[in-house]
Structures are given as C-alpha cells and as structure tokens.
Amino acid sequence: MSTHLPALAVLLTVLLAIWTTVLVGNARRRHGIKAPATTGNPDFERVFRVQMNTLESTVAFLPCLWLATHYWNPAWAGSIGVVWVAGRIWYAIGYMQAAGRRDGGFVVSSLALFVLLGGAGWGLARALLGH
C-alpha cells in the first residue's frame, strides 16, 4: 500500500488540475468573461488565479515527489504528496472565497513541497556519496 501512495498523490494532482480547469470554465460563463480575457470580475479573477497558482506549484511539486519517492522514501513521499494536494484544495477553497483566506492552504502545501525537496535532496546526496 505505502509504495502506491506516490501514484495516489499524482492521480489526485491530475484531478486537482481538472477540477480547477472546470472551475475557471464555470466562472467564465457565470461572470461573462470571454476567452482570452483573464480580468473583468474579482470573483472570476480569484478562480483564475487558483488555477494558475496551482499549475505553477504543480511544476515544482511533481519532480520533487518523484525524486523523493526514488531517493528518499516512497511511503513518506507519497503521504506528504497527499498532504500537498489537501493543502492546495484548502488554498483553492479559501482563495475563491476571499484572497486573504488562501494563507492556511498555501502554508500547508508549501511546507509539504519543501519537505519533499529536502527529502529528495538528502536522498540524492546520499546516493551520490555512495551511502
């Protein structure tokens, strides 16, 4: 089971990306924002920023998850990856309500990312040094 946690984290990340894409499409229709516009209504702009910020964070998260899984510990990496996803969901829900409500989820997902980065770096350094 624990060796499958990284795959679960990746699957949840893909679902998160799809969810935020659907949210943006719905917000475009609800607020009359025609593509390619990305401004025009603060409620839409927050939903759009949730999607963009999540995609930006995913670009750093997935390689860190993979490296931590391979060089550190798959069970820990996968568990922390699931925490990252939960933090991003918390971030998204909070940010869509009000910009100031995004902080808790941002902190959780950022801490998870940095733990994965640290585990990946530590494990890779040990591998390079032959330990």
For the chain, the domains span: 2-128
The architecture of the domain spanning 2-128 is Up-down Bundle (1.20)
pTM for the whole structure: 0.96
In angstroms, the Cα distances linking 34 to 29, 41, 97 are: 8, 11, 22
Is 101 an annotated catalytic residue? Answer: no
Which of 28, 29, 46, 88 does the annotation list as catalytic?
Answer: 29
pLDDT at 1: 67
Over the chain (131 residues), the average pLDDT of each successive run of 10 is 92 98 98 96 98 98 98 98 98 97 98 98 97 83
The dihedral through the CA atoms of 127, 76, 12, 23 has a sign that is negative
List the catalytic residue out of 28, 46, 88, 102: 102
> What is the model's pLDDT at position 8?
98
Q: Is 29 a catalytic residue?
A: yes
